[in-house]
Structure formats: structure tokens, C-alpha cells
Copies of this chain bind each other. A is one copy, B any other.
Amino acid sequence: MSNTPDTVVRAYLAEHRAAFLQDLAEWLRIPSVSADPAHAPDVRRSAQWLADKLTETGFPVAEVWETGTQEAPGAPAVYAEWPCGDAAAPTVLVYGHHDVQPAAREDGWHTDPFEPTTVGNRLYARGAADDKGQVFFHALGVRAHLAATGRTAPAVNLKLLIEGEEESGSPNFPALLHAHRDRLACDVVIVSDTGMWSEDTPTVCTGMRGLAECQIDLYGPDQDIHSGSFGGAVPNPATEAARLAAALHDEDRRVTLPGFYDGIVELTDRERELIAELPFDEKRWLGAAHSHGTLGESGYSTLERIWARPTAEVNGIGGGYQGPGGKTIVPSSAQLKLSFRLVAGQDAERIQDTLRQWVADRLPAGIRHEITFTGSTRPCLTPLDHPALTSLARAMGRAFGQEIRFTREGGSGPAADLQDVLGAPVLFLGISVPSDGWHAPNEKVELDLLLKGAESAAHLWADLAATYAGGPAARA
């Protein structure tokens, strides 16, 4: 048997698996819960632990970066850098996070969430999959890459940015990116904070939806008034809130905001074919959704609806009397909380402007309103034929020994900030599977898949270097 890069990588991983897992367990024991101020020292300890470990791995630069402001400090991030030495080599930035969701034994954990426990192929711990495991496989992966290529530095300029408050909504992340924009400059971003379709169907995520959120407050009478004495002759803000929410969709459940679908990047026939080929089990999917039926924009499948179609969702509606029994009033006010999931080609600001006008146009005299836009995240999407995506699928294909398929994420995340601020395409290298239980008790990671993650990374750097060798033109 010849010493191909694949066999060298596999041998390296087998040899270092035990030490890798021992190190990971040490990191998982640090309860870096960013949401809980009491754990702030742990989050800091986690950052320092990672920086030290990356130095030990060989990264010539490994720093703990402060975030936030002096008045409102954020949790520290970790930045590491390992230059290739070749000026023509592409630069890759790996994104992940070292903070974790809260966890307590009494939430239903079978073992201590901060005492990693291995059962067969599974490692149970808070953060095992989300996201320490998926960050840490890069430390192993880059060493395997060096072993397989005989290099002393990676084939790409490798940068890591590991955030410390992703589980708290990444409040300081855009500012951090802007502040360090020059040092973070890169050709490709690899996000390792997502999952795959399943253990049997390894996949690469190619995009996430964006998000625009707003609240609409409607005011009618200055106080609740008697529905007998006045009802039927004055506008009712609860009725108007309902009419707005209802008017957001037509009978085909398409969003009715003018121009909402204008300019969006439509699914190609090939993408629809690939999605249709995925082994989708609607009954299982409904179970995961805790739902009892599917409903959405007509003409699209469930996966297309959540991955590639924009939505308008009523997150909350309220107005008038909501206690037990009845109360015959025309309520004084009502409120709508809406969110729009956006896809590539849509612009949150344009939709906000449209919505502002649309709401104003639909409300009758006697109803005053306020719209508050509470935040937005851009969508991101990498075309299926992007060379870097091809590299990633090829590297993973070597690790998994099968063709890699493509998925998207319906949710929204800081990946879009990376794409926006750094101006680089964002790819997703994640090996978590739906049963891993992110944010839930008994979070786990499949150890074999964790090693496949390291193996994918080990192949990826050389592949990307080759892909980008043709210079910027090849990087389209």
C-alpha cells in the first residue's frame, strides 16, 4: 500500500486520536457559558486555553482579543494565524466559537454536562458539537495536513477567529470584524459551526437565510372602550393588527409586500434536482419541527421553502383582553412582531422601506402606528459552481469516501457578517448531525465524524491552494 496523502492523513489521525480527545475533554470541562455573567471568568479561561493550545499546535500567532467597549466589555475571542510563506497562496479564515449554551444536570442531562463522557462513538458534553469539537478538529486537521504534505507551514495562509459570545447573539462581532478587518483579510471563510444532513449523507451547506425583524405598534382608542357602546363605529387596533398580519400572505402563501421577490437568486434546476434527491422523510422532519402539517409558498417543496425561499413570519401578536373568560371591549392598542427570512438578492433595508409604506397605506384613519426595526442579518449564498466550494466538497469527499451533497440553512447567523465585512465567500465545513442536540440536554458529537472533520480540513488546505494557484482570476 502506497503512502498517498489520504493514507498518511488517516494514519496520522489514528495515531493522535486519543491525545486529541483528551485535549478536547480538557477544554469541554471549562463551562464557557457566555450568557451567564457568573461564567465570564470561564469564558476567558476557555479563550486562553485555546490560544495556548493553538500555539502548541504550531500557530506562530495566537492571541486573545478583547471585544466590546470599556463601558460594556464583551467576551474575548481567539485569533490565530499560520502564514504559508508563499505570497501567492490564498488566505483562509476559519470561524467558530468557544462559548457554549447554558447547561445544568437538572435540565435532563444523564451525565454532568461539563464532565465529558464517552459512550461508544459518542462524546457527551455541552459544546461537544456546538462548537468546541468543530473548532478543535482544525488543530488536528492542520497537523495531519503538514504530515501528509511534508510541509512545515500550511499550504494556505491559515487564520482562525474563534468568537466568545456567539451563543449570546454575537453582539460585538461586527465591530470586532471591522476593527481587525486588515488582519482578518482573506480569500475564503470556512465556518465550522454547522451540521450535515446525516451521518450517512455528508453534505456541505451553501448558504443561510438573512433576517429582518420589526415590531408594529397600533394605537386606537386612548383606553379600552365598551364594545357595545362604540363597537362597529370606531377602528379596532386588534382587528387592524390581524388585517396587517393576514395581508402579508396571499392564498398561495406568497408574501404580498410589493417587490418582495424582486431580484432574488432563484434556485437553479440543478439545485432543485439535488435537493429533491436528498433522502427527505417528511414525517421525521415534522417530528423535529414538533408540527402536525406542512404549509408554505406554493410551488416549492418543504426543503426549498426553508432553505431557499424568503418568508414573513408572525413571531408574536397581542392586543386587548387575553385573560380568562371574555371582556367586551374595543382594545386601545395591539402589537405585531414580524420577522422576514431573506435570501440572496434581497435587501433588508429595501424591505423595511416597503413595509413602512405598506403598513401606512393599509391602516384606517383613527389608528396611529409605530414601526421599529429591531435588527437585520444579510443572507449568504455560495453558488454551486464556486471553485472554493468545489474544493471543499472534494476534500470532504475524500474524507467521507462518498460524494458530498449540498444543503442550505434556513436560519441566519454571523456568517453573513464575515461575508459582508471581509468581502469573501463563506463556506461551511461542519460535521454535526441533527441528533447532536444543540442547545438541548445531552448534547453530543459523533467521534468518527469529528475525525472526518479533521480529515476534511487536512485535505482542504492543499486543495484550496491548488484551486487558487491560478491567481485571482481562478478565484471567481
- Measured CB to CB, the residues of A under 8 A from B are 209, 211, 213, 215, 220-223, 225-236, 238-239, 241-249, 286, 289-297, 302, 305-306, 309-311, 313-322, 325-332, 334-335, 337, 339, 341, 364-368, 374-375, 409-412
Can you spell out 20 A-B residue pairs with CB atoms less than 8 angstroms apart? A209-B228, A213-B326, A221-B290, A225-B290, A227-B341, A229-B409, A232-B297, A232-B341, A233-B289, A233-B294, A235-B293, A242-B246, A246-B246, A314-B319, A314-B331, A315-B327, A316-B322, A317-B319, A317-B322, A325-B374
Contacts of A292 in B (CB 8 A): 220-221, 365-368
Q: Is B341 a contact of A231 with CB atoms below 8 Å?
A: yes
* Chain B residues positioned under 8 Å from A290 (CB to CB): 221-223, 225, 332
Residue of B nearest to A286 (CB): B234
- Min Cβ gap A377→B in Å is 10
Whether the Cβ atoms of A410 and B229 lie closer than 8 Å is: yes
Do B289 and A221 touch (CB < 8 A)?
yes
Q: Is the CB of B337 within 8 A of A233?
A: no
Query: Smallest CB-CB separation from A304: which chain B residue?
Result: B233
B242 x A291 contact (CB < 8 A): no
CA distance A33 to B329 in the complex (A): 22
Shortest distance in angstroms between A357's beta carbon and chain B's nearest beta carbon? 19
Q: Are A314 and B232 in contact (CB under 8 A)?
A: no
A239's partner among B246, B319, B368 (CB-CB below 8 A) is B246
**CB of A317 to closest CB in B, whole Å:** 5
- Contact of B317 with A327 in the complex, beta carbons under 8 Å: no
Cα A322 to Cα B236 in complex, Å, equals 19
- Rounded to whole angstroms, the CA-CA distance of A311 and B328 in the bound complex is 12
Instruction: A239 to B229: give the CA distance in the assembly, Å.
Output: 30
Contacts of A339 in B (CB 8 A): 227, 231, 326, 328
Residues of chain B with a CB closer than 8 A to A248's CB:
239
Determine the distance from Cα of A213 to Cα of B121 in the docked complex, in whole angstroms.
58
A319 to B335, CA, bound (A): 11
A337 touches B327 (CB 8 A): yes
Q: Which of B226, B294, B297 contacts A366 (CB 8 A)?
A: B294
CA gap between A329 and B314 in the complex, in Å: 8
CB-CB nearest 3 A-B residue pairs = A293-B366, A228-B411, A242-B245
> A441 to chain B: closest CB distance in Å?
14
Provide the residues of chain B in CB contact with A311, threshold 8 Å: 227, 231-232
In the complex, are the beta carbons of A211 and B293 less than 8 A apart?
A: no
A308 to chain B, nearest CB (A): 10
Closest Cβ–Cβ distance, residue A350 to chain B (whole Å): 19
Q: Take A242-B241, A315-B327, A315-B331 as given contacts and tell me if A305 and B232 are in contact as well, using a CB distance cutoff of 8 Å.
A: yes
Given contacts A234-B291, A315-B329, A316-B319, contact A243 B246 (CB under 8 A): yes
Q: In whole angstroms, what is the CA distance A309 to B98 when docked?
A: 64
Chain B residue numbers with a CB within 8 Å of A366 are: 291-295
Contacts known (A231-B341, A306-B233); A315 close to B293, Cβ less than 8 A: no
Whose C-beta in chain B lies nearest to the C-beta of A249? B239
Complex: how many Å from CA A316 to CA B335?
A: 11
Measured between alpha carbons, how far is A469 from B18 in the docked complex, in Å? 109
Would you give the shortest CB distance from A223 to chain B, in whole angstroms? 5
Q: A228-B410, A316-B331 are in contact. List 8 more A-B contacts (CB 8 A).
A: A211-B328, A221-B291, A234-B291, A242-B242, A243-B246, A292-B368, A314-B319, A325-B374
